[in-house]
Structure 1
Amino acid sequence: MTLLLASAGTAASERESIAHAAAAVAMQSSQDAPPPADGPPTRAVDLDTVIVTVERREQDLQRYAGTAQAFTSEDLRALGINNELRNIQVAVPGMSIANQEGNVEIFIRGVGSANNTELGDPGAAPHLNGNYIPRPRGLGTMFYDLERVEINKGPQGTLRGRNAVAGTMNIVTRRPQLGEDSMSGYVQGEVGNRDHRGGEVALNMPLAVNAALRFAGYHVEKGSSFTNVGDPRLTPAGIQNETAGRLSFLYEPDDKLSVFAMVDMGHESGTGYPGANIYSAVRAGYGPDDVDMREVVYRGRQGAMDNRIWGFQGNVAYDFGAIALEYNGSFRDVDFWQRNATSDSINWPGRDLSAVDYDVFSSQFWQTRSQAQTHELRFVSTDGNRFNWTAGGFYFHEKQQVGYFSLADKGYCCYSGTEFTMPDVDGKSWAVFGDGTFDVTDTFRLKGGVRYTDESKSRYGIGGNWALTLGGADFACCFATRLGTEGFVPTLLNRPNFDVSGLSSSADFARFLLQGILTPGARDTLIQQIGGIADGSAPNGNCFVRPDIDNGFMQCPPDGGFTYANLTIPSQQQGSSAFNYTDWRFGFEWDRTDRSLVYGTLSTAHKAGGFNDSFDPDVIPETYRPEKILALELGTKNRFDMFGRPATFNVAAFYYNYTDQVFQDLTAISFDPVTEEASGFALANRNVGKSRIFGVEADSTLRFEHGFSLNLNALYLDTEIRQGVVADARSQNYDAGGITSEIDLSGNELPLASKLTFNARLQQLFDVSFGTFDWQILAAYRSAYYLTQFNNREVTFLADTAGTVDRVEDAFTAGFPDRQRAVTQINVGAGFTSPDGAWRTEIWGANLLDKDVSQKALVGSGLNIRFLNDARSYGVRVRYNF
């Protein structure tokens, strides 16, 4: 019924322990937590204890047997890491965060997932207060009034479970403060470059000695870091307008019961998340380092985005004496819509912008709705015996409705768009788990855990091309059509019908296509051309010629109709998959001294499998299996005195065996029986990859005289793809029917995996007669890395399906360089706090060197789209605490 053209298919495919001292699990009152961030910064002469919950319980980070980092809200604000989630990666070696059309993609140590449609899942699991978030859209709207942000590196299959093969990121919000006699909180305002202005407020409201409410909210507006050098009527993509708020409740009547509840909402709007297609610039001889990738030639459609999120979560914990019981539950609703801005690549030296056809409205529309709930029940031993354990169950259910429409305005024979609309996507997961720690001696402990998971997914909808072959006089081919001009809106999830199994006639096909148009564009021609087919008044449609669709040689038949009208509509899409797997971990902890911990862990983790688009199962497999990582980590954490002050030094070595790795493979789904050439393609997820990852990570915190402190963190990472033969999406040859060559990825590095990352953060805090000053500078170095699995390898173009080589080009000549050079970024911050701690003024600067860093590349036929970091930002902030 349909053939998925590869140029559209490429874009469419990219569319988504526990316990030592277990009595502390979720039972510590807020008074036991670190002091609230509403007050002034803490002094740097002492080594502050960093409390984290990476193992599902509060513990000193220095006593956690693993590799993790934590940042308080003060840390993030001071370095300009606010309202821009992706900016946190500059402070976390081995972490990469990109934002493609609102899809937040997190990679840790080279592991993650770029499959962000309903067919895939994240590879690094995001959490909010420990509750799993399956669709990490709009995470930036949660980045305010925080206790801390925790990044746990490495597989977390037993501890966190679902889709934590790379690790986890946990955003911990500030809870209501108990025991206060009156209301407290803060009010904050800030301004910065690119028309940045924003505000934040928090109000802690005591209800009784043992109960309190906390309200927090923020609003921020910020201009784009991209420049429009095309149609002056258009505003660049990337403009932010965000508002969010949350209300939380905490009740702790005694040391046994704790009840926490929170409701939050967020709204993002603006001009959408931008990318820059550098393909044409590269073909003109200019690499990404030779041009300003932020100078985009906009044309056609204005970008727009609207994202509405709200959620509820609750936690109830009770200590029965020998056992503590904890329940965590959450619900999260996401309603995302985006129309991508239209562009004609970017600018490059000497480009004649007057030669650009600005009357082209080709674009993409995204619509994603998700309603996800999680439930977890845990039982924890609290008797303080040598064996401490936890056990429980987890349940997850997500309903999605997903729409994607890519349109090709001025569809000169015969392609007009691609639509994938799924009104019913259902995902479920349940798990049971157990974990324990046994004290062999006072200084040596063994720990282990196991988790069994059962996953299922299904979807129903439509997917494929809109294609029209409209014949002129004497059966000449073919008339053009326009779709998507000013005012055009696709129907997507508002379609009246998603059942195409019984459609067979041209009238059926025409009606189905027209039902996909909610609002016609002002200068669209499609409805006029095929409307008569749909209502029966003109079985071959209505032929007419207009200057903007006149290809110079087509003439209408004398009767005003087409001599033929062949229509293609999307096909039925029905997919399902079901998998189960077991994860486990085993390890030891040895207190070499009371200030030195040695540990080792061997563990596994899985990322959920899934299914592919519905085509011939003999060509494209219906399902793909879960990915799996087996990880070994050995490390030591040490406290010591240097110059009479406490310091730390930690180091860990790790090795991952990554199997059943999923690579996307461009596959021919049909062949012309006469020419024997491929005539349709689709991207398939296949378990064809194996990789190994080795690394060493070290960090140290040092304290000096006069309030100085220095934090150092370094990561050496060596990755290698050991197996993986796929079709090379870069090599499509449309002169030969769109065929592609195969490429063996063996020996390549994993994408986004720098060999060396090094961070240094110098801080100072000192008193003066009228208050306290503090300042800090973060320098982050990251060595070069590849953006795709192709690793700048040469591209082989085929002449025919027999495998005859047409030509071989290096990656640059073909338009596909994918290596990001080494980069150093600098963030700074400084602040002054009044003597009573009530007033605080801060200045910050992020990416001060204004480095353009590609955080992801999407490559395919005519595509080399770069998704970049945030450009230089700086500003001033004033905060009043009360």
Structure 2
Amino acid sequence: MTKHCRQHALASAILASLIASTAALPAIAQPTGQDPAPAPARDAPTLDAVIVTVERREQDLQKYAGTAQAISADDIRALGINNELRNIQAMVPGLSMANQEGNLEIFIRGVGSSNNTELGDPGAAPHINGAYIARPRGLGGLFYDVERVEINKGPQGTLRGRNALAGSLNIITKRPNLDAFEGYVQAEGGNRGHQGGEFALNMPLGGWAAIRVAGYTVEKDSPFENAGQARNLDPAGIQDEHGARISFLYEPDEKLSVFAMADMGREGGTGYPGANIFTAARAGYLPDDVDLRKIVYRGAQGKLDSRTWSAQTSVSYDFGPVTLEYNGSYRDVDYQQTNAQSEGILWPDRNLDPLSASNPGGVDYDNYSTQYWMTKSQSYTHELRLSSDDDQRLRWTTGAFHFNEDQQVGYLSLVDKGRWYSGTEFTMPKVNGRSTAVFADATFDINDRLRLKGGLRYTEEQKSRYGIGGNWALGLPGIGGDFSTRLGTEGFAPSFTNRPNFDVSNITSQADMARFLLEGIRSHGRNDTILQQIGDVAKGGDFGCLDRPDIGGDTIDCPYESWVQVSGIPAQQFGRSKFNFTDWRTGLEYDLSDDHLLYGLVSSGHKAGGFNDTFDPEDIPETFKPESIVAYELGSKQSFQLFDRTSTFNLSAFYYDYRDQVFQDLAVIATNPSTGEATGYALVNRNVGKSAVYGLEAESVLRLPRNFMLSVNALWMDSEIKQGTVADVRSQNFDAGGATSLIDLSGNELPLASKVTFNVRLQHTMELPFGTLDWQLLAAYRSAFYLTQYNNRDIEYVRNDPDTGTLVPDRTEGAALAGFPDRQRGETTVNAGIGLTSLDGHWRIEAWGNNLLDNDVSQKALVGSGINVRFLNDPRSYGLRLRYQF
């Protein structure tokens, strides 16, 4: 049987900010070019405004008609969320973030995307300083010397454009200060060998320009443990990261502003960790019964080498009635990873002794089957905007946007000691994606209290791809089915885009096929046999026959039988798709009073469509349309006086109509010519889904006496898949030729969509004779959720009926015992931080604790035949930080 299947494959970060006199007070996000003023240490009668740019204009968050959160770098750092960008989800109900093979996957209110191949796109749009990031690899390397993070919930099709189906996440870095020579130096250390440093230096140039330089470094041991006997292997998850950034701001007067920034980052270590629980579940152990961080590693050492650099610029000029602004960015990603491979997790009484004739149930530590990843991306964006003065009755913005991304992609999954089948390769030297849009958005004051909002955006998207994809298939078996081919052992490296040829349209002979496979190897592994076995075939000769203990020993029949062959090479891959769509929004805002805003909003968003792999060179690849959401939201934002201090209470209700939802399905790509029985399958993306999401979200900030502040944010949400019938990949029955049953997902919940999430944060500040002491405590609860669309449903296995040629029921298994439990129970996360700032404001020492209860939470699952890989949260971490600001 031919199996043509590619699984879709940490973001780490350090947060930096200027010293706050009191971490208990909310950060004041200042306009461009200004640093936040020191927060007063004593009680204040008012709650400082939080300025955000969620609508592409600076505005008070309490005046924004929508649901968004702005989290200051001071608060994030104080709570120990400093080396994992994804850990901010503890502060944002409805936000889920996970990391797989370096891609940061963002889901907001159950909407997002896990397709990380070159054909995939994020479902929630990431940005840095408003510049769109197409390939969110290495995103954590941008997360230092930060002003704040903005999370906008709900589709942002008109405002943020490309792939903002679920919303957007925007990282705002610190901008240069025109008025002061200043900076900071920071050192920190913690458990798991955590050690890091950070600095920033701001240099004004004559009062009209300034330069800011910042950098960071961090090293940290893995959160996983090598529980097997291959002790020479380090577990996945070891971090070794470095980054630097330089920013320039030029403002000679109130009309002209020029901002430019360049940064670079490098991530090393042992790659991004996952835990395959399939065999443990088959042995009767649920994820809650075992330690998911004890992994039985074998074979190749996991290794990560990811390098990024980017540049962006923003130029604006105020002509008086209108302002013209240009924003441009460029981002280069070079990502390489060798996956750390394992035989799953440890469970009680598991046999960990090496595999041998006397111990057939042991672990084969000499198995180098693994996956290799390469992603290179060069992307740029251009946006030109023209906007009216903010004092006009009709405030409008219009403009044009263009995005282009070129990628070179490599993926190779090898089966060491293979027979008949030795790997799957997808190498694409040419992948291109483009998006062009024009947009307009406006707000009109009907009277002093009532405002009408509206926006429109027209987008054209296109994608193309050229390369190869499919199986390396060799027919070199030994007697009795023993293994006879070794591939990928220590020292192996794939060629990927360094192949001399990607045209396989005329490759049919054994010699050409053997040559093509060998061209895919940049360096052979120490114990590989493939060169000796097919090297002469590539020259027109015979197969070489080896008989070694590590490939069977005394089971190889030399010379080979005449039917031995190179039975498959990757097929030609090409594809092209082109779509256009229109996003819109309309709404009303009404000021019930100066401190109470009511609003209603209807908005839409899309995620890019695309095409699938090529299975038949004669056929055009199957395409899938863009996904779409129309969201309805009603909300109230109110400020009020409590204990003679200003507090807030915000409430919103929302409903999403989610259409053309893409689910992965299986396509039959090969059949038995005699019986018509399906013998080959491949994963495809299809618009077969339709879902509904609805809920209530409430947020309140209460300023209490004696410098206490209490923040509460809660979300109740329900989701339901209304339609979607797909092949159940859990049920692939290889004893029956790979036959797979269909499953109707209707009635299931969306993955990662908890019904209840909330967090409570208590902050306090007190003045001491030698400085200011502040502390805060965050408790975040998230109810149970499913990790896949299957929702723990039973698995119906099928087989081919030889009499009728149709699929008939074979057996039924519960999801857990079949190896596919996918429910994560509800958990509470507790973070805490305490800091002391010296009287002169120059020195600050902080202690933090993150995930103090040390709960293991699965943030994502990768499910396929024989695979149930969990990607986990960060375990308990704690440490100290010393900071000097000048």
Q: What is the distance in 1 between the residues matched to 2:198 and 2:300?
A: 33
The AA in structure 1 aligned to 2:867 is L
- Contact 1:317 / 1:326 at 8 angstroms: preserved in 2? yes
Instruction: Note closer, same or farther for the CA distance 1:730–1:776 as it changes in structure 2 (3 Å cut).
Output: same
- Contact 1:44 / 1:764 at 8 angstroms: preserved in 2? no
Tell me the CA shift for residue 564 of structure 1.
Answer: 2.7
Tell me the CA shift for residue 336 of structure 1.
Answer: 0.3
- Contact 2:250 / 2:257 at 8 angstroms: preserved in 1? yes
Q: How does 1:856-875 map to 2 (within 5 A)?
A: 856-875=860-879
Q: How does 1:363-374 map to 2 (within 5 A)?
A: 363-374=370-381
Q: What is the distance in 2 between the residues matched to 1:738 and 1:336?
A: 33
Match for residue 409 of structure 2? 402
Match for residue 529 of structure 1? 533
Query: What SS does structure 2 have at the residue aligned with 1:845?
Result: strand
Q: How does 1:351-430 map to 2 (within 5 A)?
A: 351-354=350-353, 355-382=362-389, 384-411=391-418, 413-430=419-436
Q: What is the distance in 2 between the residues matched to 1:80 and 1:92?
A: 15
Instruction: Note closer, same or farther for the CA distance 1:438–1:562 as it changes in structure 2 (3 Å cut).
Output: same
Tell me the CA shift for residue 36 of structure 1.
Answer: 3.1
| Residues 1:569 and 2:569 are matched in the alignment | yes
Tell me the CA shift for residue 37 of structure 1.
Answer: 6.0
Match for residue 307 of structure 1? 306
Select the residue among 539, 542, 546 that pairs with 1:544: 546
The AA in structure 1 aligned to 2:471 is N
Tell me the CA shift for residue 673 of structure 1.
Answer: 1.7
Match for residue 666 of structure 2? 666
Query: What SS does structure 2 have at the residue aligned with 1:511?
Result: helix
Match for residue 696 of structure 1? 696
Tell me the CA shift for residue 216 of structure 1.
Answer: 0.5
Select the residue among 469, 472, 475 that pairs with 1:466: 472
Q: How does 1:658-737 map to 2 (within 5 A)?
A: 658-737=658-737
Tell me the CA shift for residue 387 of structure 1.
Answer: 1.1
Match for residue 174 of structure 2? 174
Q: What is the distance in 1 between the residues matched to 2:691 and 2:618?
A: 27
Q: How does 1:151-230 map to 2 (within 5 A)?
A: 151-180=151-180, 183-230=181-228
Match for residue 97 of structure 2? 97
- Contact 1:414 / 1:478 at 8 angstroms: preserved in 2? no
> What count of residue pairs does the alignment treat as equivalent?
856
Query: What SS does structure 2 have at the residue aligned with 1:468?
Result: strand
TM-score by length of 1: 0.95
Q: What is the distance in 1 between the residues matched to 2:3 and 2:159?
A: 42
Query: What SS does structure 2 have at the residue aligned with 1:170?
Result: strand
Q: How does 1:46-65 map to 2 (within 5 A)?
A: 46-65=46-65
Match for residue 23 of structure 1? none
The AA in structure 1 aligned to 2:528 is D
Q: How does 1:456-855 map to 2 (within 5 A)?
A: 456-470=462-476, 480-538=484-542, 541-550=543-552, 553-557=555-559, 563-616=563-616, 622-800=622-800, 802-855=806-859
Tell me the CA shift for residue 83 of structure 1.
Answer: 2.3
The AA in structure 2 aligned to 1:240 is Q
Match for residue 441 of structure 1? 447
Q: What is the distance in 1 between the residues matched to 2:286 and 2:424?
A: 30
Query: What SS does structure 2 have at the residue aligned with 1:389?
Result: strand
Query: What SS does structure 2 have at the residue aligned with 1:735?
Result: helix
Match for residue 879 of structure 1? 883
Say what the alpha-carbon RMSD is for the aligned residues. Answer: 1.9
Tell me the CA shift for residue 645 of structure 1.
Answer: 1.1
The AA in structure 1 aligned to 2:455 is G
The AA in structure 1 aligned to 2:331 is R
Instruction: Note closer, same or farther for the CA distance 1:32–1:87 as it changes in structure 2 (3 Å cut).
Output: closer
- Contact 1:510 / 1:567 at 8 angstroms: preserved in 2? no
Per-residue displacement from partner, 1:649-687 (whole Å, max 9, x unpaired)? 000000000000000002221111234332211100000
Per-residue displacement from partner, 1:715-761 (whole Å, max 9, x unpaired)? 00100000000000000111111110000000000000000001000
Match for residue 22 of structure 1? none
Tell me the CA shift for residue 385 of structure 1.
Answer: 3.0
Tell me the CA shift for residue 342 of structure 1.
Answer: 1.3
Match for residue 317 of structure 1? 316
Q: What is the distance in 2 between the residues matched to 1:620 and 1:722?
A: 30
Instruction: Note closer, same or farther for the CA distance 1:648–1:510 as it changes in structure 2 (3 Å cut).
Output: same
Match for residue 22 of structure 2? none
Tell me the CA shift for residue 137 of structure 1.
Answer: 0.7
The AA in structure 2 aligned to 1:545 is D
The AA in structure 2 aligned to 1:216 is A
Q: What is the distance in 2 between the residues matched to 1:530 and 1:15?
A: 39
Tell me the CA shift for residue 470 of structure 1.
Answer: 2.6
Tell me the CA shift for residue 38 of structure 1.
Answer: 9.6
The AA in structure 1 aligned to 2:366 is D
Q: What is the distance in 1 between the residues matched to 2:775 and 2:477?
A: 71
Instruction: Note closer, same or farther for the CA distance 1:128–1:169 as it changes in structure 2 (3 Å cut).
Output: same
Q: Runs of 5+ in structure 2 lacking a partner?
A: 12-27, 354-361
Q: What is the distance in 1 between the residues matched to 2:520 and 2:130?
A: 40
Per-residue displacement from partner, 1:621-648 (whole Å, max 9, x unpaired)? 6210000000000001000011211100
Q: What is the distance in 2 between the residues matched to 1:403 and 1:299?
A: 23
Q: What is the distance in 2 between the residues matched to 1:422 and 1:293?
A: 35
Instruction: Note closer, same or farther for the CA distance 1:563–1:159 as it changes in structure 2 (3 Å cut).
Output: closer
Tell me the CA shift for residue 368 of structure 1.
Answer: 0.2
Instruction: Note closer, same or farther for the CA distance 1:829–1:436 as it changes in structure 2 (3 Å cut).
Output: same
* Greater Cα shift, 106-115 or 47-56: 47-56
The AA in structure 2 aligned to 1:364 is Q
Q: What is the distance in 2 between the residues matched to 1:210 and 1:870?
A: 44
Tell me the CA shift for residue 567 of structure 1.
Answer: 2.6
- Contact 2:572 / 2:617 at 8 angstroms: preserved in 1? no
The AA in structure 2 aligned to 1:59 is Q
Q: Runs of 5+ in structure 1 lacking a partner?
A: 17-28
Q: What is the distance in 2 between the residues matched to 1:574 and 1:478?
A: 37
- Contact 2:43 / 2:706 at 8 angstroms: preserved in 1? no
Q: What is the distance in 1 between the residues matched to 2:692 and 2:788?
A: 17
Q: What is the distance in 1 between the residues matched to 2:373 and 2:566?
A: 27
- Contact 1:263 / 1:312 at 8 angstroms: preserved in 2? yes
Identity %: 63
Tell me the CA shift for residue 48 of structure 1.
Answer: 1.9
Per-residue displacement from partner, 1:137-189 (whole Å, max 9, x unpaired)? 11111111111000000000000000000000000000000122xx2100000
Match for residue 431 of structure 1? 437
Per-residue displacement from partner, 1:551-603 (whole Å, max 9, x unpaired)? 7654123xx67553133100000011000000000001101100000011101
| Residues 1:251 and 2:250 are matched in the alignment | yes
